[in-house]
A and B are shown apart, each in its own frame.
Chain A
């Protein structure tokens, strides 16, 4: 258990600082064999807030989020949604709680079309219980008009789409169902500059709609632009959670690489980072 787990002292810039946070994950542990991928991490998220989750490769960011999305349930620890303890054993549980995830791999079924992917697991059905493909295609066209107006390939399997279009499908799937909590794992890693800007706009917009967003990213600039708070992990442990306004990018780099708190790293060490 790390002593820095509760170091957020400044009031969060979230619109609703009172009441329980939207998500609280307490003392989460996940081990693969003998390796502690996530080792006693505590983290929280408020409505209308973006929390950036950063750290090097193998820091445990994705594994921590998989415990929340149900892709890989935690071995121990508590998850609270709006103050109520919940149990998340699989992705269906998470979705019922309004937790949507955009995976780094996108997790699309490549052989079916965009609408089938957007509604995967939550298909619209007619009164007789059969699939209402027309309604699903119509809804998909609407959400796509908002996300990616140039998207036209509604009838082709998503495997034949470009990286950006596939990303749009994955995002559409996450936001179509009025999610309250959104987990974005490297959402811009595969995108060009124009599409990255679109994703940034979207994050800002979803934030104003009151969603809580966990943003996993390698790109410290992305995180600095979009996040309200930044949580740093190193080798499965929490280094700390800081307000974006109270730190510099160098502070964050120091946390990511050396596990040092802001101000702890010496000028010399920081200078070293830029070599």
Chain B
């Protein structure tokens, strides 16, 4: 390649080298925040969550920020949060999935039937086999992939708007449940499968939770160090050392604080005695939360580090440009729906396991909670904007509101009113902020 006239011959000029490096570090709060390079939107959401928690805590005379309540909150948020991570990608690519609640009900029913009827009785293999739970889960995930993929196929290759396809799905999957289940409750479920729903037995316990917490801390530090090394190698600007340390320290403190809180919640006395413990053991991180963390990690990786995610965002930003850029838009769209189906299956497993049964109205209005969580978490219906951590925080915010109002004995219709107002207000505030910034 020849040098074009006027082109600088030195490689990779660092963008803000003259302003950042030699001058004394800026002291305004905004500049300090800037050097932390943390998503301010996410920071704002965490702030809002803290405010919600503190207000409920005061209002409920100190009953909200307790190990017991926070532990319950984490378990209740998990299944919505898992689906919200998939909904982010669906909405980012300018689509919608209204069928998740009904699909969850159908997958829950199929998985309940698989472990309560088909495997033990129809196949004659008997109850509580060690492999039952994994086969059941495999059936659920496989069917979720298939149903999600089918909806995605109709949207991407059939040219039917996703709103219509998944509205049809909402009716069809729920109709099938009523058709087959005939109002019955399918129970009881497999012993191992039930652990997926959490509860004291379905939790890591104190040692396991500490190990998990330490592993996450190691992961945080490793990520920070390797990112810094990589940027150094390419001579890109890096954030100041104090900022790196602060980010790492805060991250680890939050993780270890969460572990400590989960461990501070002890098994209920009766259950502990029944299980033969002298003193109630620590509960620790519940399995649904563990699954949610795994899903969050995987989905963040898919969204930010894989081509699939890059394409989803590019399609949301400008579908025509994505096509002209050589992206296989249809395959990518179908992929988002298939992935959504898998996540619905995981949430269905958690919810049925938690109930220890499949009921006909399992997952009803879940689609609204999931979409709300994604949208409160900063996902834009205009497409192209939304993050996985945001959606998870959105799910926690939603669940915090519900759980807090429950604690204050607010009736269910009023809860709906409040959640509805918060949803509209959050999105309105968000778009107002966006307009101001651009």
Q: Check B313–A111 contact: CB distance below 8 A.
A: yes
Q: Check A145–B384 contact: CB distance below 8 A.
A: no
Q: Check A141–B321 contact: CB distance below 8 A.
A: no
Complex partner residue of A202 from B4, B233, B322, CB under 8 angstroms: B4
Say yes or no: A120-B326 contact (C-beta < 8 A), given A110-B317, A146-B1: yes
- Bound complex: CA A108 to CA B313 (Å): 12
- Of chain B, the residue at the smallest CB distance from A66 is B324
Q: Check B314–A130 contact: CB distance below 8 A.
A: no
Q: Check B321–A111 contact: CB distance below 8 A.
A: no
Among the interface residues B11, B301, B305, B385, which one has the most CB atoms of the partner chain A within 10 A?
A: B305
Q: Check B317–A109 contact: CB distance below 8 A.
A: yes
Say yes or no: A107-B325 contact (C-beta < 8 A), given A131-B307, A142-B11: yes
Least Cβ–Cβ distance between A248 and chain B, in angstroms:
29
What string of 1s and 0s marks CB contacts (under 8 Å) between B205-245 and chain A? 00000000000000000000000001101101000000000
Q: Which of A27-35, A121-129, A218-226 contacts B (4 or more CB under 8 A)?
A: A121-129
Say yes or no: A111-B12 contact (C-beta < 8 A), given A131-B305, A131-B307, A149-B7: no
- Contact of A161 with B by CB under 8 A: no
| Count, chain B residues at interface, CB 8 A | 44
What string of 1s and 0s marks CB contacts (under 8 Å) between B149-169 and chain A? 000000000000000000000
- Bound complex: CA A90 to CA B323 (Å): 8
B residues less than 8 Å from A173 (CB atoms): 325
B residues less than 8 Å from A112 (CB atoms): 310, 313-314, 317
Q: Check B15–A122 contact: CB distance below 8 A.
A: no
Say yes or no: A109-B5 contact (C-beta < 8 A), given A131-B310, A141-B12: no
Q: Check B324–A71 contact: CB distance below 8 A.
A: yes
- Bound complex: CA A167 to CA B230 (Å): 29
Least Cβ–Cβ distance between B430 and chain A, in angstroms:
15
Q: Check B306–A120 contact: CB distance below 8 A.
A: no
Q: Check B384–A91 contact: CB distance below 8 A.
A: no
Say yes or no: A107-B236 contact (C-beta < 8 A), given A131-B305, A146-B4, A146-B7: no
- Bound complex: CA A157 to CA B314 (Å): 11
Q: Check A149–B6 contact: CB distance below 8 A.
A: yes
Q: Check B318–A108 contact: CB distance below 8 A.
A: yes
- Bound complex: CA A121 to CA B1 (Å): 23
Within 8 A of A (CB), among B1-30: 1-8, 10-13, 15-16
- Of chain A, the residue at the smallest CB distance from B37 is A155
- Contact of B66 with A by CB under 8 A: no
- Contact of A205 with B by CB under 8 A: yes
- Contact of A84 with B by CB under 8 A: no
Nearest first, the 7 A-B pairs at minimum CB distance are A121-B326, A111-B317, A111-B384, A109-B314, A120-B325, A107-B321, A109-B317
Residues of chain B having any CB pair with chain A under 8 Å: 1-8, 10-13, 15-16, 230-231, 233-234, 236, 301, 304-307, 310-311, 313-318, 320-328, 384-385, 438
